[in-house]
Structure 1
């Protein structure tokens, strides 16, 4: 019986191969998109779930309350973990520092030095790999997580370092095959400190918020950073994790943390800070706290993506339902004959469902063929977030469920319609499409194009917001500015020599040293208040360590007072004697630019007079409001990058490449033990809008696919309508109807349905996009023309699709039309 169903289904699909092709193409596009979305969602929701006790591991986060609001930190004071182990029994606590960027080098003993800037160095204590054991990833491998060395001995030496397999291959390419021989070898940190290799472990999965390439014993960090390691008031790169006994409630532990904090912190620090537990598996999807070394993504964004996948499947199913029910009349005689010779309604139902299932299986097969290529393309495109999308066993289960669900959605109603025909009426050919069926088809077309219209409007609004980000005046120069990371342990003499050599080049206009550009992802924080204000009035600000040419290079506008001068730098380089602040800061103090100059300002690092006020510039991305900012001349240890402003002929690639090569050669000559890294400032700023760019790309791709699937359905429906009305078209042409009149006749019903879809969905898409824009401090306004333009684009595409077949039918020879049966 099953074989018979399949054989008949194949024959039927071949006879109606045009409609089969339309259905298979539409379903395949919807299914492959849903598969990609499923793999992506599975990946995003799997972050840090592969540790044996991941459901009981928490990150301790801090809420820091200031007069100008609450800050949410994913870092805590370094001494916290040790204090918990001492004062709160019943838990395992791990302390980390980093990930931190440092220069690591190896020497093969023959003068060959391999030197790299490592951005994922993690300082951890001996408890770290007890909490994060990666057991669900590596437990099937012969040696588990450890390739060489063991957890029992890896932290015996204070300067021990554990390499991943990737980093071992990088530093010891000729010896890595015998990994045991690497134990005891040495590496240099920042060209001075010696690290001894104590272990080699597997490369950790990339779907983790705990990224690292090297693990260094936390004792080394404590020894070299005694102030940070013992400071309860500071908040640096330290993260504290705790593994709770299942019998301990997180709320109970938080109360114990509050008591511990009161014991060790100063009264003012205790008053302004609060500790909370954040589940390890929530870190990736709770953007409030962020993640060190990785990225976070909002759960709402993931669910929106899942909804898009569902909608694309529905659009493809709607095509199938509409085409199948529209052709129901053509199959009425087949149904009548089958029923007349004894076929039951159940047998007919399974026959028609089997045809649907066969189409779905073919579509799923085609989708699977293209899936691997699509995932590889996504992994290559999204290297900035180290995406690693892979096909796994769960996808097989998902594909099977998808086959069943789509077959039910797409096939159930058409099968019911076809099997309910009465044999006598069917054989007489008096079957007509009922008003209910016609109404359903119209409703499905409205729903289908409503989704498409939403995607088109969303794509246009996101595109406008991205264009706004790219062209909004940030309050400083961004064109032709190159930033170069400065090496550690640099001297003032090296800096000045490097500057003078660069300025001798005719294409280099200015050079400045600072802790970062006006808008930078990495910034120093400080607190500020006036001497007349109590400690409780401390507010949070950004602190930028700059030099004298900084304002000129970035074209910052001084509103009152003057820019920093040598008089504002202490002779020993350890202090400061003057601040420049921005407008936002003085507004918080209730001052005007003129009255602010000369006022003493107290910050966490000391106090000095305000010597100047600069016009506000965007020191954060445009998702956030401008922060108060303090600019000062200070210790060279805070100098992290040089800014180089070029003056080049417009769009001259050869001149740009030549100048960049000169900068690199000069840098390597000035800092021979450093690792050269440069970036154009505009490219760096663009990374602030990575998520928004991804949303725009997703809207663009899904909108194109959606309108293509919808137009496939329209093409099928207009083709069927033309076939059904062949004689009517012939008669009308004989009676003098023009091609334009016939095209309007065939397309009119579809076009007004599309118009209804557009009008009906305007309030919904306006609300969705308005809510999305609210997360940005600086945003565009939603304008009426965005809806009009999107509607016009969709309408024109739909009209073109309809007209292709309508014109073909209108141009047909009426003699042939009237003779056809």
Structure 2
């Protein structure tokens, strides 16, 4: 029976090549795109789940309440807290402070600027917590006296030409300090899987910190990871930890700090405000990709159902004869399901080939290897095939039930469902509306994303970002002012300033930024302090609205952060109340500041000037309070260099030459601020590209389905068209006759899709503090594109049918 079903299915496929080609092409594209999309989703959800103790690993964050029901998970805590928790709680097995950064190593004389590598800075406790696998044996013992470096296999293969680098000492090319650091390569580990936020080429190891926690407070620190005993209740441990901290700390200001635990497996997707995590994802991206993948597959399946039901008219007599000769409905269902399975089988085989071709393109687009690809994971591949099998059964069930349900007498007379409540034509129309509604929603999403990205790129940010170079944070070793003054003498350079602020992530100084709100009791306020020299405002191009700029001529304008850190509470309060500051217009409004020269309650720093608002960080975040403090010669900070328009290249060459004279052993990493700001919205730009691709793909699949339907509609009405032509109907009239119904369906799809797309995209825009308003023309444009594509698809086949010779269609009558 199965052999007969397969033979009949193959003959049917070969006989109607147009139908078969459209169906197989649609299934191939839909399945391949869906597999690629879901590979990305699976990869995003798999981050850090491969570690053997993943369920027991956490980081501790400080939970700061910054406003009404607004909490900030401050990621940095001191490693001294880790030691105290391990000593006092049996639940804590181990802890390690780990940070990731890009570092450059000088390997051979041919690389004066070094080889870029992503390095994890960690103490040796990390080796017991994470599964770093050594190559050819066990992890080496720690060599005291210098930093130990474990490098990955791929890093070794790229830079050591097949040699064993163990025992070699390599130096870094420093950026923030003149002093080079030697690293002893103590071993080689297997490549760390790409699906981790701890992605790295090497691990720089140090001895664990052994300092005791001070009762004065929990100052400073980095990102500390904890390994708890298996089965530990994280919530219960959090309560015990906070109760202990409040009892142990004696400093009243520090006593009320509250901490929380973040599971290791959630860090990648939940680290929006954590600058320590440089490899991070976004849950919205997962939702978008999941939706797009499901919709692509749905459109492909709708095409299959529509074409199968439309083709039913051509098989009425076949079905009727089979029933009269004794075929049971179950046998007919089996026959038609076999045909569906054959289509899906061919489509799947082609889709796997297309998937293999598309996977490297996707990996290049997202910038890293996909660990859980279907071809690399037999389990996932098997599950995928099983899902496709079930989808093929579900998709083929309706056409099979429809085709096998004809009344034999009606079937032989070419009549469908005489007396039946079921309407195959109505179902096809509904499905056409669904697939075009999906395509229109994605088109609207594309327009919204495109306009939001353009808005982010073009919105004034409060300072002149053009012709502005930025050098990353470093210590200037007391030569910063000299370097800056020499720079300003060079051709092509207009101004320069050293400041503790970066447009990359809005970093300010190390000055404390959580204060009691001046106007609201029992509420904390996050205040951003920028410590900069007196040329900062002019170099950046900030506009003064009221008062004056900071000036070295005014003694109270100079602020010494190092001195503040050595003061007690009373001395600090007196000092900050006498140190002037610049503030932004929104800061003045937020804090109720109306008078210059008066210290701000609970904050100090009497403002002497109000600047026009500028965006300290990306436009995803609303403006917050900003104070700019003056320091004649900041040491640990960044630098901004304003170049003369048209002389950018000459300015860069002069900068490099001067840098090598004053800092011969250090790396210069100067970047244009415009490039830095563009990278802030890289995720949105990629979403724009994805929406462009997928909206085109969905429209293509929808148009292909409509093309198949119009082909069958024209074939079904071929005699009607011939008679109309004989009776004098024009080509335009016949085209209108065949096109009108489909255009109406697309218009209905636009009406259905518009409110859904409006709701979804408004939710997406909520992630941005500054965003566009969705306009009516976006819906009109998306609808117009869909109508034009549908009309072009239908008209092409309709014109062919209209210009055909009526003698050919009426010859057998």
Instruction: State the TM-score, normalizing by the size of structure 1.
Output: 0.88
| Alignment map for 1:296-335 (pairs within 5 Å) | 296-335=280-319
Distance 2:455 2:213 in 1: 41
1:641 is matched with 638
1:516 is matched with 501
User: Aligned match of 1:469 in 415, 431, 456?
Assistant: 456
1:563 is matched with 549
| Alignment map for 1:498-577 (pairs within 5 Å) | 499-501=485-487, 503-505=489-491, 507-517=492-502, 520-524=505-509, 526-527=512-513, 539-566=525-552, 567=555, 568-569=557-558, 577=579
2:192 is paired with a residue whose SS is coil
Shift of 1:112: 7.7
Shift of 1:77: 2.2
Distance 1:608 1:414 in 2: 76
Distance 1:211 1:229 in 2: 33
Shift of 1:621: 1.0
Q: Structure 1, residues 227-276: CA drift from partner, whole Å, max 9, x if none? A: 9999844344x122222223421122112211231244344444552111
Shift of 1:155: 6.5
| Alignment map for 1:38-187 (pairs within 5 Å) | 38-66=38-66, 70-100=71-101, 104-105=105-106, 116=114, 120-134=118-132, 145-147=133-135, 150-151=138-139, 153-154=141-142, 159-168=147-156, 173=160, 177-182=163-168
Shift of 1:378: 1.9
Distance 1:785 1:535 in 2: 47
Shift of 1:502: 5.7
Query: Given the superposition, is the C-alpha separation of residues 535 and 724 from structure 1 closer, same or farther in structure 2, using an over 3 Å criterion?
Result: closer
Shift of 1:387: 6.2
2:79 is paired with a residue whose SS is coil
Q: Which moved more, 1:86-95 or 1:472-481?
A: 86-95
Number of corresponding residues: 788
Q: Structure 1, residues 338-372: CA drift from partner, whole Å, max 9, x if none? A: 33444443333222212211211221122211213
Distance 2:437 2:802 in 1: 29
Distance 2:214 2:712 in 1: 76
2:435 is matched with 448
Shift of 1:21: 1.0
Distance 1:267 1:574 in 2: 21
Gaps of 5+ in 2: 565-575
Distance 1:531 1:729 in 2: 79
**RMSD between superposed Cα atoms in Å:** 3.2
1:527–1:538 contact (8 Å) kept in structure 2: no
Distance 1:497 1:277 in 2: 45
Distance 2:29 2:802 in 1: 31
Distance 2:388 2:117 in 1: 45
2:337–2:396 contact (8 Å) kept in structure 1: yes
Matched, 1:378 2:362: yes
2:417–2:423 contact (8 Å) kept in structure 1: no
Shift of 1:541: 1.5
Shift of 1:37: 1.3
Distance 1:215 1:803 in 2: 63
Shift of 1:159: 3.7
2:645 is paired with a residue whose SS is coil
2:615 is matched with 618
1:544–1:629 contact (8 Å) kept in structure 2: yes
2:437–2:753 contact (8 Å) kept in structure 1: yes
1:65–1:272 contact (8 Å) kept in structure 2: no
Matched, 1:702 2:689: no
Shift of 1:427: 3.5
Distance 2:212 2:672 in 1: 35
1:210 is paired with a residue whose SS is coil
Query: Given the superposition, is the C-alpha separation of residues 543 and 559 from structure 1 closer, same or farther in structure 2, using an over 3 Å criterion?
Result: same
| Alignment map for 1:203-222 (pairs within 5 Å) | 203-219=191-207
Distance 1:420 1:173 in 2: 71
1:673 is matched with 665
User: Aligned match of 2:763 in 771, 776, 789?
Assistant: 771
Q: Which moved more, 1:625-634 or 1:708-717?
A: 625-634
2:54–2:265 contact (8 Å) kept in structure 1: yes
Q: Which moved more, 1:510-519 or 1:401-410?
A: 510-519
Distance 1:186 1:656 in 2: 32
Shift of 1:173: 2.2
2:246 is matched with 262
1:30 is matched with 30
1:578 is matched with 580
Distance 1:235 1:316 in 2: 55
Query: Given the superposition, is the C-alpha separation of residues 50 and 212 from structure 1 closer, same or farther in structure 2, using an over 3 Å criterion?
Result: same
1:514–1:638 contact (8 Å) kept in structure 2: no
Matched, 1:405 2:390: yes
Shift of 1:180: 3.9
Distance 2:156 2:212 in 1: 32
Query: Given the superposition, is the C-alpha separation of residues 752 and 316 from structure 1 closer, same or farther in structure 2, using an over 3 Å criterion?
Result: same
Distance 2:122 2:477 in 1: 30
Query: Given the superposition, is the C-alpha separation of residues 259 and 323 from structure 1 closer, same or farther in structure 2, using an over 3 Å criterion?
Result: same
User: Aligned match of 2:591 in 589, 592, 597?
Assistant: 589
1:652 is matched with none
User: Aligned match of 2:683 in 682, 688, 691?
Assistant: 691
1:599 is paired with a residue whose SS is coil
1:737 is matched with 729
Matched, 1:483 2:475: no
Q: Structure 1, residues 148-182: CA drift from partner, whole Å, max 9, x if none? A: 78447236556433333355557x625x6224444
Query: Given the superposition, is the C-alpha separation of residues 372 and 675 from structure 1 closer, same or farther in structure 2, using an over 3 Å criterion?
Result: farther
2:105–2:171 contact (8 Å) kept in structure 1: no
Distance 2:794 2:635 in 1: 65
Q: Which moved more, 1:747-756 or 1:684-693?
A: 684-693
1:731 is paired with a residue whose SS is helix
Distance 2:119 2:601 in 1: 36
Gaps of 5+ in 1: 135-144, 650-654
Query: Given the superposition, is the C-alpha separation of residues 423 and 809 from structure 1 closer, same or farther in structure 2, using an over 3 Å criterion?
Result: same
2:580–2:597 contact (8 Å) kept in structure 1: no
Distance 1:269 1:15 in 2: 83
1:354 is matched with 338
Query: Given the superposition, is the C-alpha separation of residues 478 and 774 from structure 1 closer, same or farther in structure 2, using an over 3 Å criterion?
Result: same
1:602–1:608 contact (8 Å) kept in structure 2: no
2:568 is matched with none
